[in-house]
């Protein structure tokens, strides 16, 4: 299938988290037209089985391909862990697929961290994708993973930068497995929202890595390599959710950092 630079980039997540990635791309590559899909009907993905996440990811990717996307970014670690390989096989050659795990793994290796903590949803932690990928590149790096399932729903509900989020974060980060780490991977695209609070917890003594910048760089690299980088924008971005609530829209706006109009789109009936 022929692709051209003016085709949009599709981005999906279970909800608001992928907007961190969308926002980073929007600022870095302002000529790219983005079509975002937040699957709020099925949020959180982190508590679902790998099979369920694969099924959702397949249907959403099909929708994004119907929108003629040249690239599909799986802006969700749970879906990247469970569905990336399957999507590559299933839609072979129809679009470029980008996951959010590999760019973060490459950052750990290139920055030579020795003792890395990973916090993520249960789906991502149970897949051990970060541990396996990092170890396969450098056996010597110590990787300790802790599932932090309350964080994504907490952020989704607008609880960040306050006492509630502070005590949930402290509770999780005081886990003995996260002692003496030199870097913490925020392996969920919701977590950049609580990055400052996490940084405060560590008093700036631990490097905090999230997907936003590394995925943004990877997207630019791939589009440039494929000759698909858009030089002059045509059309507007679109932000769809499978279940609309006004509170989600409010949080989404705060988060995206600019005005955002969410449209409800039923792909599940």
166-205: contacts with ligand DGL (CB under 6 A): 188-190
- Please report how close the Cβ of residue 249 comes to ligand DGL at its closest, in angstroms: 18
Torsion of CA 98, 28, 265, 81, to 10 degrees: 30
Kindly state the smallest distance separating residue 256's Cβ from ligand DGL, in Å. 15
**Part of the chain binding ligand DGL (CB under 6 A), chosen from 42-50, 53-61, 163-171, 212-220:** 42-50
In a 3-state reduction of DSSP, which class is residue 97? strand
Among 67, 68, 105, 64, which Cα is nearest to 87's?
64
Quick one: DSSP state of residue 155? H
Site string for ligand DGL, 47-86 (x = CB under 6 A): -----------------------------xxx--------
Q: Rounded distance, CA 73 to CA 47, Å?
A: 21
Using the contact rule CB under 6 A, the part of the chain among 10-18, 230-238, 243-251, 260-268 near ligand DGL is 10-18
Give how many residues touch ligand DGL by CB under 6 A.
Answer: 17
DSSP letter at 182 equals S
For ligand DGL, the closer of residues 14 and 61 by Cβ is 14
121 contributes a contact to ligand DGL by CB under 6 A:
yes
Find all residues with CB under 8 Å of 269, minimum gap 6, and list them.
none
Q: Per CB under 6 A, does 103 bind ligand DGL?
A: no
Rounded to whole angstroms, how far apart are CA atoms 77 and 14?
A: 10
Q: Which residue has the tokens 């995206």?
A: 256
Report the run of H or E that residue 12 belongs to, with start and end: strand 9-13
Based on the shown chain and the rule CB under 6 A, indicate whether residue 26 belongs to the binding site for ligand DGL. Answer: no
Q: How far is the CB of 152 from ligand DGL (least distance, A)?
A: 4
How far apart (Å, rounded) are the C-alpha atoms in residues 8 and 235? 9
- Sign, Cα dihedral of 95, 249, 56, 219: positive
Asked if 252 is part of the footprint of ligand DGL (rule: CB under 6 A), the reply reads: no
Among 8, 12, 13, 223, binds ligand DGL (CB under 6 A): 13
Residues 69, 125, 152, 184: which binds ligand DGL (CB under 6 A)? 152
| Alpha-carbon span 4 to 23, nearest angstrom | 22
Q: Provide the annotated active-site residues.
A: 76, 188
Sole window of 9-17, 21-29, 131-139, 234-242 interacting with ligand DGL (rule: CB under 6 A) = 9-17
Q: Which residues bind ligand DGL (CB under 6 A)?
A: 13-15, 17, 43-46, 76-78, 121, 124, 152, 188-190
């Amino acid at each position: 299938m022929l692709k051209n630079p003016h085709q949009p980039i599709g981005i999906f997540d279970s909800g608001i988290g992928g907007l961190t990635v969308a926002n980073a791309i929007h600022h870095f590559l302002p000529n790219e037209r983005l079509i975002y899909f937040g699957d709020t009907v099925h949020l959180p993905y982190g508590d679902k089985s790998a099979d369920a996440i694969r099924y959702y990811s397949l249907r959403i990717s099909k929708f994004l391909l119907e929108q003629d996307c040249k690239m599909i970014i799986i802006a969700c670690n749970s879906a990247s862990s469970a569905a990336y390989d399957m999507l590559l096989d299933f839609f072979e050659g129809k679009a470029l697929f980008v996951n959010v795990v590999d760019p973060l793994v490459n950052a750990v290796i290139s920055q030579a961290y020795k003792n890395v903590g990973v916090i993520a949803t249960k789906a991502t932690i149970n897949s051990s994708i970060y541990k396996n990928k990092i170890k396969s590149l450098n056996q010597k790096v110590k990787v300790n993973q802790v599932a932090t399932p309350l964080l994504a729903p907490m952020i989704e509900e607008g609880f960040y930068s306050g006492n509630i989020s502070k005590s949930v974060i402290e509770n999780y980060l005081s886990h003995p497995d996260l002692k003496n780490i030199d870097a913490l991977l925020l392996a969920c695209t919701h977590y950049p929202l609580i990055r400052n609070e996490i940084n405060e917890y560590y008093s700036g003594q631990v490097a905090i890595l999230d997907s936003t910048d590394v995925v943004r760089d990877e997207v630019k690299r791939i589009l440039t390599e494929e000759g698909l980088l858009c030089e002059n924008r045509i059309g507007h971005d679109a932000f769809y959710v499978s279940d609309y609530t006004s509170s989600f829209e409010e949080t989404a706006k705060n988060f995206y950092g600019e005005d955002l109009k969410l449209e409800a789109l039923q792909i599940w009936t």
